[in-house]
Chain A
Amino acid sequence: MSARRAASARARRPATWRTVFGAPLLVGAATLVGLASALFFEGTGWVVSWATLSLPLGLVAWHLWRGLAPRGSGPGRAAGRGGAASRREGTG
C-alpha cells in the first residue's frame, strides 16, 4: 500500500474523540494523580508522582525520536508520512 493510499484510508476512518483525545486524557489524568499523590503521601506518593509526571516527558522524547530519527535507525512509521490528507492540516 502506498503512503498516499494509506493516508487517505486513514482520512476516511471517522475520527472519534477517543482516537484524538484518548492519549492526552490519560496523560492529563496521570499528571493530576501524580500532583496529588506527592501532596498527600510521602514516600510512595513521591515515587508515584515522579513516574506519572515523567509520562509527558517520556511521550515527547519517544515521539521526537520516532519522528525525527533518520529513516532506518528509528522505529519509523510504516506508511502515511506526509500523505495528501495530512498535508491539509499542515497549514494551521
Chain B
Amino acid sequence: MTASRIRAWAFVHKWTSLVSTLFMLLLCLTGLPLIFQHEIDEWVGASAGPAAVRPGQARASTDRIAAAALADHPGKVIQYLGWDLHEPDAVFVILNDAAGSHPNASVSSVYDANTARRLGPPGSAFMGVMLRLHVDLYARLPGKLFLGAMGTLLVAAIVSGAVLYWPFTRRLPFGTVRPERARRVVWLDLHNLLGIVTVAWLTVVGATGVINTLSEPMINHWKATELGRMIAAHAGPAPARLASLDAAVARAREAAPGMTPGFIAFPGTPFSTSHHYGVFLRGTAPFTARLLQPVLLDGETGAVADTSRLPWYLTTLLVSQPLHFGDYGGMPMKVIWALLDLVTIVVLGSGLYLWWSRRRRPAPARAVPAAGAASA
C-alpha cells in the first residue's frame, strides 16, 4: 500500500467519521434502551401484561376487541388492528378521528387477546422520546433521510477503517494492547481491536438502519404503484355497515394458506381501499413471520377481492428490521446486542479522541504516512 493511498483512505476515514460520529453516538445511546423497549415498558408499568390464559379459555373474538376499543375511545374510528409479533396474547388497536386522518393524530391501545380487556398504551413516554430521537430526530421524513445519510457515512467509515487496519497493525500480533505506552497509543490499540472485531456486526446494523430510514419512500412507492393499482381496481363507496372482522380474517387465511394475520387495515386507511379491508398476513416460521402478504376483502361482505405478494424492496425492508433491532434471538441476543452497542460507543469515542489528540499535537501526525510509506 503506497503512502498516498493510505493518506487517501485516512482522509475518507477521518471525514466520514467526523461528520457522522456525534449522530452515531446519539443513535447508540438511544438505541441501547430501545433494545429492551418491551422489558422497560413492562418494568415502568406503561401497560399491564396479558392475563394468564386459563385452561380451555377461548380467545376473545376480534369483533369484541374492536367493539371494546371503540367503546373506550368515544368519537374515534379504528384505523388498524394487529397482533403483536412478540406477545401473542396482545392485540394493538390504532384509532383516529377518521379512517384517513394523519398518523400523528392517532391514539393506540393494547388489548388482552383472551379477555378483550384494555391493557394500556403501547409504550411509555420515555421510550417514545428515545424512539423519535433514534428514528427521525423529531423531523419526520427529512430527519429519517438525514440519519440515513449519516448511516451511509458510517458504512464508508467502517470500510475505510478496515482498509487502514492493515498499515496500522501489520507489524503487531492480533489484539495487541500496549498499556505501557502513551495514552494515545493505548486508545489507538483499543480503537483497532474493538473496531475490527465488530466490523461485520456494525456494518449489518448500520446498513439495515439505512434501509429502515427509506421505509416511508418505499411504502409510498408501493402505494403509488402495485398496491395503488390493486386498490384502484376495487375502489368503491365506503361500507354502509362493516363486515365481521373474524369472518374477514378467516377468509383472508383461506386465501393465504399457512399464514397468520399480522394486522387489519380498515376501509379508508392508506393500506386498504375506501371499500375494502386490507388484511396483512405473515408466515409462521422465524423468517417468514417477518414477511407480509396483503389480502383485500370487501368491507361489507368480507369476501376476498384480491391478493398480491410484496415487492422485493418491501421484503428487503421487512427482513432488515430484525437485523437492525436484534429482537429475534431471545434475551441473550438482546444482551449481546447491547454489549456490542457499548463496544461501538467506545470505538466512536476513541476515534474522536484520536482525532482530537492528533489535532493538538500536529507534529507526530506527519509520522503516520511516513510509517505507512515504510510499509508500502
Q: Which residues of A contact B (CB under 8 A)?
A: 10-11, 15, 17, 19-24, 27-29, 31-32, 35, 38-42, 45-46, 49-50, 53-57, 59-60, 62-64, 66-68, 77, 81-82, 85-92
B165, CB-defined interface residue at 8 Å: yes
A-B contacts, 28 listed (Cβ < 8 Å): A15-B170, A19-B170, A19-B174, A24-B162, A24-B165, A28-B200, A31-B201, A39-B323, A46-B330, A46-B332, A50-B333, A55-B197, A56-B201, A57-B340, A62-B175, A63-B193, A64-B190, A66-B177, A67-B178, A67-B189, A81-B178, A86-B171, A86-B176, A89-B371, A90-B184, A92-B164, A92-B354, A92-B368
Determine the distance from Cα of A50 to Cα of B336 in the docked complex, in whole angstroms: 8
Instruction: Give chain B residues whose Cβ lies under 8 Å from the Cβ of A54.
Output: 336
Residue of A nearest to B204 (CB): A35
Q: How far is the CB of A4 from chain B (nearest CB, A)?
A: 14
User: Chain B interface mostly helix, strand, loop or mixed?
Assistant: helix
- Beyond known contacts A59-B197, A64-B177: 12 more, CB 8 A cutoff: A10-B171, A10-B173, A20-B166, A27-B197, A29-B200, A35-B201, A45-B286, A46-B330, A53-B336, A57-B340, A81-B180, A89-B169
Q: How far is the CB of A18 from chain B (nearest CB, A)?
A: 11
Determine the distance from Cα of A88 to Cα of B184 in the docked complex, in whole angstroms: 13
Q: A40-B287, A49-B333, A85-B171 are in contact. Are A91 and B371 (CB under 8 A)?
A: yes
Determine the distance from Cα of A17 to Cα of B167 in the docked complex, in whole angstroms: 11
Instruction: Give chain B residues whose Cβ lies under 8 Å from the Cβ of A49.
Output: 329, 333
Q: What does the 1/0 interface line of B326-361 toward A look like (CB < 8 Å)?
A: 001110110010011001000000000010000000
Instruction: Give chain A residues whose Cβ lies under 8 Å from the Cβ of B162.
Output: 24
Instruction: Give chain A residues whose Cβ lies under 8 Å from the Cβ of B179.
Output: 67-68
Residue of B nearest to A13 (CB): B171
Residue of A nearest to B332 (CB): A50
Partner of A67, one of B176, B182, B197, B323: B176
Structural contact, A57 and B171, CB atoms closer than 8 A: no
